[in-house]
Amino acid sequence: MKIDRLKITNYRNLEDLEIEPNSGLNLIFGPNGSGKTNFCEAIHFVSTGDNIKGSRQRELINWDSNYALVRMGLLNVEEIVVYLEEGEGKEIKINSKSGRQSDLRSLVPTHTFVPEDLYISKGPPRRRRSLLNRHLSQLSSGYGHLLSDYNAELKKKNTLLKKDEINEEFLEVLSERLIELGARITGERADYLKKLNQYLPEIYGQFVQTDEKLNLSYTEDGLIDRSQEELEELLSDRLERNREKELDRGTSVVGPHRDKFEYLLDGRDLRTFGSQGELRTAVIATYLAYLELYEKKFNELPILVLDDILSELDRARGEAFLENLPEAPQIFMTTATRSPSFRKLSGEFTVLKIQDGVIERQ
Amino acid sequence: MIEPLERVISEFKKLPGIGQKTAERLIFHLLTRDSDEVYRLSEALKGLTEEVKRCQVCGNFSLGDKCEICSDPKRDRGKICVVSRPWDIAKIESTHKYEGLYHVLGGLVNPIEDVSPEDLSISELTERAKDDRVEEVILALEPKTEGESTSMYIVKKLRPLDVEVSRIAQGIPVGRDLEFTDKATLGKAFEGRRGVD
């Protein structure tokens, strides 16, 4: 899959940008504020229907306009348009017909990496949880639905727990639902971690000279290789033990929405003793491992959008990243400076320059 | 804008799926029609509140105290199909596949919207199911999370009674390609597969 044509209108500071990108690697240079990040965001927006930063709609539309539009042509899809009008919802058109966000995901598999992602290893557990959710939504059919069902039931249970009068039987129904859905989520996550850890140590070793093994693991023991029934039993026991606490606090305190994951280097928590560089490298390694699993499953890599990764890595690790760049059908990689590291790139690539919202080939 | 227009627009905007723009469009359309037509519309709307009642037995729309289905002697009194809204009945009726009675819950349990089981006609349903003639209760609630948990709650309530409880099947719409069926639906269709006679 590859983007043949891209036209961005009034998306943030990009008033009118048009390009027919090449396949393979597209290196995009531009000073700060030139619109590099907005360019990446716009590609993510038209291929997923989502705004990667979760910004408010008004912020996505250029200040001098009341609508934003990203239009894209692909090999097998004539035209995909995602349209945003001030005060109205978002509209998706696929070959002039109304489409849904889920249609986009299957038509244009895209994976976007933003600099903030590099702090996943360092920040609170919720970041690693959302990383796993993002990966699993792509790799496992049904995971996205599973998660949204779980979250919907969780929200209901939390609302119910806060009420003065609680219908005990309905609370029990919601708990049963959460146990069943929750155990499935935990099972999926455990399976994914197991697969991920088959690749992580080797990939990490390509960036850091070490014999120590990197793993991403559940903080809680004993969740790997369990059957659905065993996981349901575990979850049900924990819910039972925390029943009073939940009623007391008016919120659900156990379940996969509280799952914790840590990066371990030979069993030691990377967060407490790893350097900044090692922490970021752990994320890069996870990303590459995910892509290996993705390719194994779908026989092709997604389109990659890599916003300014290199500036966050030191020179040696930046070069290691370029040397290990996945062979995706199309990659958009932005950077502020022309680093000497680009010597490390093998094969052909296209150089683009973006300035004041205009993009051109070099 | 002048007051009578503002008033109608603000009423229209309370309807589902209608915003400022659509409301304005509808009103400008009405203003261009002759007054008879607009009068007929307002009379028809008035009839909604004056003539349409709810069936005392099942909660369906009705002209009298008992709806057409509940008072039809040919209907199978051994079966009660549970739906959340009255218009689901019309939909199921249009299939001509079901001869039994109905029961309208009046919504789905959802603590977020402050709908608890007591707000729905669930106790009325269990009372009806106690009738010896009733053999089966069929749950036909929307296959989303609210429908799921409401169904589970009803199953709990009916368990002590001597009735079969079943749920309508979920799966791939007729005439639809597998390719364009979403994963959740396809998964449900597999779970609910059955042997070929």
Per-residue pLDDT of B28-81, as tens digits, reads 898 888 889 889 999 999 988 889 999 999 999 999 999 999 999 999 999 999
Burial class of residue A315, CB neighbours in 10 A (0-12, 13-18, 19+): exposed
Among B110, B157, B183, whose Cβ lies nearest the Cβ of A156?
Answer: B110
Distance from CA of A279 to the nearest CA of B (A): 35
- CB contact (8 A) between residue A156 and residue B153: no
Question: Residue B107: is its pLDDT beyond 90?
Answer: yes
Q: Which residue has the higher pLDDT, B195 or A239?
A: A239
Question: Residue B90: is its pLDDT beyond 80?
Answer: yes
Q: Give the confidence band of B186 by pLDDT, cuts at 50, 70, 90.
A: confident
Q: How many CB atoms lie within 10 A of CB A174?
A: 26
Residues of chain A with pLDDT under 70: none
pLDDT at B55: 95
B43 interfacial to chain A (CB closer than 8 Å): no
Domains in chain A, please, with CATH?
3-109+302-361 (3.40.50.300), 125-273 (1.20.1050.90)
The structural domains of chain B, with segments of one domain joined by +, span: 3-50, 72-195
pLDDT at A215: 95
A176 interfacial to chain B (CB closer than 8 Å): yes
Q: May I ask the CATH class of domain B72-195? A: alpha beta
pLDDT at B68: 94
Q: Give the confidence band of B16 by pLDDT, cuts at 50, 70, 90.
A: confident
The reply to whether B72-195 shares the fold of B3-50 is no
- Which architecture characterizes domain B3-50 according to CATH? Orthogonal Bundle (1.10)
Q: Give the confidence band of B171 by pLDDT, cuts at 50, 70, 90.
A: confident
Distance from CA of A266 to the nearest CA of B (A): 38
Show residues of chain A in contact with B105, CB under 8 Å. none
B179 interfacial to chain A (CB closer than 8 Å): no
pLDDT at A101: 85
Show residues of chain B in contact with A142, CB under 8 Å. 183-184, 187
pLDDT at A255: 93
